[in-house]
Structures are given as structure tokens and as C-alpha cells.
Chain A
């Protein structure tokens, strides 16, 4: 099946710092999705990207759909303690039953 490489696997940052994480694929995707998962909860959609080159923001979060359609990144600006969680990227190549999920980036924010 398709592989998504998500990095970094985990990161510790100081409150107020900016964060960047990315996903790369060996295959082309039509849609890139970014989810956040808090402990004991399911993934929640943060940003959806539908066109190559698209740059979309959601508050302090910004994500981009790579020009090659094989990568995407997520930036979080001015991190706060509630940003703690696991961030997943996901790529869609057909219907939403064909979404491939990354392995997650675990973010810890030090107050």
C-alpha cells in the first residue's frame, strides 16, 4: 500500500515557539488532510487541502499542499499548552475510503 512518512515523530518545544512538521509520500495525492488527536479522543480535522500549491490557515495553523502533490507541511505559530497532542497527516488518492494516514507527530509544549 501507499506509504506516508511523517516527521518528526515527536518534538518538545517551549511555549511561544513556532512548530513545523511535514509529510512526504511516494505517491501523488488529490487531497491532504491534517488532524489532531488529544489523549482519549478521536482525531479532529484541522485543515483540508485540495489543490497543489494551496496554502490554508486556520487560526495559528497554516498548512500547504506541495507542488509535486507528494508532500505537505503544517506550521503552528506561537505555540500554547493546549497545542499538545498527536498531529496526523493524511493523503487521499480516490474516495475517502482510500485515505492513507501518517504515523503522527507527538507534540509536547513546555510552559
Chain B
């Protein structure tokens, strides 16, 4: 079983729709992250959380929100999806001062 599980793996939706991407982990890590990957660009940080009560904006948080419902769960929402949010989204977890472990990604297409 995967340590970091993302659902759905693929999603196609229309402009203006609300979308939620889910991430759950069995690694017991306190720290969780959401990244976006676009062709030809490096991973860019959207939001991160160091524990259930902690939410922090990353490099590209505009148009996104997150919820840390429990230590093991970190969800990413697009309140009103737009086409330039079409991308591959990755959730990651880590222990303090340790490299991240990534999920297998959610491919999101917004028409």
C-alpha cells in the first residue's frame, strides 16, 4: 500500500467548478505539503502544514485553499477552477528537517 495516497488520480472538470483533491498518509508525519507541477517547470509549493492547527501559504497559493482535518489528511480545494490551473498536483509529507515523500499525483484538467 502507498504511504501517501492521493485521490482522485485523474479529474477532468469545467471552468468555475469547485474541486477538492484529497491526500492521506500512513507515515505518521506531521508535515504535509501540496505542490503543483507544470511541463518544463519545477515543482512549486502551494500550501504547507506543520500540524493540524497550522496552515501556511506557499509560493503560488492564489486560487487555492487547504484543510488539515487530521494529522493524516490534507485536502486542496480550487473554489472556482480556471483553465490555467490545469496541472499535475502532488501531495508530500515529511518529518521535521527531513526530505519530503511524495504521492503519485493527481492529474487535473480544467476545460
Contact = CB atoms under 8 A, between A and B. Distances in A.
Contacts of A40: 104-105
Interface string A88-102: 101000011101111
A21 interface: no
B36 to A, nearest CB: 11
B4 interface: yes
Contacts of B44: 101
B98 interface: yes
Given A1-B59, A4-B42, A88-B43, A96 B103 contact: no
Nearest to A88: B42
Interface residues of B, number: 25
B97 A95 contact: yes
A96 B40 contact: no
B64 interface: no
A104 interface: yes
Given A45-B100, A48-B99, A90-B43, 10 more contacts: A1-B59, A41-B105, A43-B102, A44-B102, A95-B97, A96-B99, A97-B33, A97-B45, A100-B42, A103-B41
A111 interface: no
B102 A103 contact: no
A103 B99 contact: no
A4 B4 CA distance: 27
Interface string B75-111: 0000000000000001010100111111111000000
